[in-house]
Structures are given as C-alpha cells and as structure tokens.
Amino acid sequence: MKLKSINFPKKFFEIAAQNAVDSIYFLSPERQILFWNKSAETLTGYKAREVVGRYCYDNILRHIDEKGNNLCTGKCPVVKAVETGKIQEADVFLHDKQGARIPVHVVVYPVKNTEGKVIGAVERFNINLGTSLTLESIKNLEKEAFLDPLTAIPNRRYLEKKLREALKRYRYDRKKFGVLFIDLDSFKSINDKFGHLCGDKVLKAVSQTILMNIKPIDTVGRYGGDELVVILQDVTKSKLRKIAEKLWRLIKSSEVTCEGQEISVSASIGGTVVREDDSFYKILKRVDDHLQRAKASKPSIFIGD
C-alpha cells in the first residue's frame, strides 16, 4: 500500500516530544540544552525557561552513579553517544530542584544528519522508582493518621507498627530484616543559621531521597525531629551495609538552596539486623547505640550485629 504524502506542521516533532509521557530533552554536540519537555519539568522541578540555553554540566541535574561519582565532569552517556554515534543507556541519580536524589534510567540517542555526522543528541529519562508509596497509599496513611505532614512519609506511629509486624513475621518465617537509624548532621546549626524553613527543606529532600531509593517492600519514616528510620526486608548484615553506604552517598551528594546559598547535607547512619532474641525495645535500643557509634566514625556509618 502506497503511503500518502503528509505535510506535517513545521514543529510537529517538537510538539510530539513536548507531550510525551517520557522526560525528554535535546542537546547540541557541546551539551547545550536546546529543548526541555513538560515531563522533564514535572520530574525535575525545573521549568524549560530555567534550563534551555544552559549546558547540562552547568550544575543543573548533577548526575552521579551509585558510587557517588560525578558523571557531568567525565564521560557521561551524552558524551559517549556523541563520540561513538551509538545509543547509550545508564542508571543514574539526578538532583532535582528541591535537593532530592532521584533514581532514573537514561537513554541517549545520537542525532545524525544525512551524511551520518552526529549533530546533537536526544536524552530520554524515566524515574527508576522502587517505592510503593503511591498517591493512594499516601491518602490511606493520612486517613489512619500515619503520615508525617512535613515530609509526606510515614510517621513514628506507623514505623512502630511496621517494626512490630516485622518482628512477628520473623518469628514465623525466619527471614531476617534490618533497621537503619539516620540522623542528619549539623541540623541544628542549619536551623540556627538559615531558619526553620530551610531546615524543613533539608529534611524533605533527604526524606524523598531515601523514599525513592528503597524497595516497595521496605519502609522509611520520620521517627522524630531530624531522625529517620528505614525498615528493610530480607537482608543480611553485608547487604544492609551496602544499602546504608548507598543512602549515605546519595544524601551526601544532595544540596538544598536557602537564601541563595547551596547547603550541603550529610548524615550519620546506624544499623542492625534482627536477632533471635530481639524484642521491639531491644532492636530499637541497639540500633540507636549503633547510630551513636556511627557519629564517631568516618564515613559516619556503623552496622553492628
């Protein structure tokens, strides 16, 4: 069947990309951002007017890998696509406008002219979300008074409920779980210097970073003040340490803007895996002791028995 010739509007493909579900942006070979669609605005918090014309390495998304390496200063997927002329894929963590680290899967397509020369690139990225905290589940948490209103993650009451459930399940199926206590470093000095609104922004950014980088079966919540607790299912001590190190790096690579200044964030993390004789109070006491030891360590992580 012969296809009819269609006269597309001049900006047809740009309009199509603008309305795509995927987050998409176009770049020149020098990595200058030429186009930024609505989905990219929603995911990152950055409007097109804030990024178009700038270069992607200009301290915007600040892509890092799982080890905390800054990809924007080296061979990032865009550079590789432009240099090789081949499609590149990677799992990275971008830095959104609120300061949270978001896990995304990136695919970069080199754009070639009729002679085969690379004249730019198109990057498509989607959230690599592990959390099961959907809008529906948030509403249910609110209804049951289990939601922390500031951070939009579960509160202490919900965490205690989940910890009791985890202990009960462990006695039945013997599958080990772990608990992490996370305390923000220098949080009081941030509040004193920049005010409580800035402290709130830091707490929200860290909460969202953790929420978006754990599995659906795991739970994170605000225990009180600047303390967060993570309950992780089916883990060994070594696995718990790897998760703690990953979260520590992601938090450390986050920054929040307050009064025109970039505020660096860091945290101390203590953790433990459930024991045969554990009770609700025993495991909480032990993980709190490990948190205090973490504060004296470098890096500030202590995962004990």
CATH number for the domain harbouring residue 71: 3.30.450.20
Kindly report, residue by residue over 177-223, the tens digit of the pLDDT: 999 999 999 898 999 999 999 999 999 999 999 999 998 889 999 99
Instruction: Give me the pLDDT at residue 298, please.
Output: 81
Residues 164 and 43 placed together within one structural domain of the fold: no
298 token code pair: 């470098």
For residue 219, give the CATH number of its domain. Answer: 3.30.70.270
Can you tell me which residue has the tokens 């890096």? 299
Looking at 127, 157, 172, the residue that finishes a domain is 127
Cα distance between the two ends of the chain: 70
- Is 0.85 topped by the overall pTM? no
Residues 6+ apart with CB under 8 A from 41: 47, 48
In the prediction, which pLDDT does 137 show? 65
Domain extent for 21: 12-127
pLDDT computed for residue 274 by the predictor: 96
What's the confidence (pLDDT) of residue 1? 46
CB 210, CB 228: distance < 8 Å: yes
**pLDDT tens track for 24-54:** 999 999 999 999 999 999 999 999 999 999 9
Q: Is residue 2 assigned to a domain?
A: no
Same domain? For 144 and 241 the reply is yes
To 5 degrees, how large is the angle CA 246–CA 250–CA 252?
A: 115
Q: Does one domain contain both 216 and 300?
A: yes
Q: Which residues of the chain have pLDDT under 70?
A: 1-10, 129-139, 142-143
Q: Is the same domain home to 148 and 223?
A: yes
- As a whole number of angstroms, the distance between CA 64 and CA 47 comes to 21
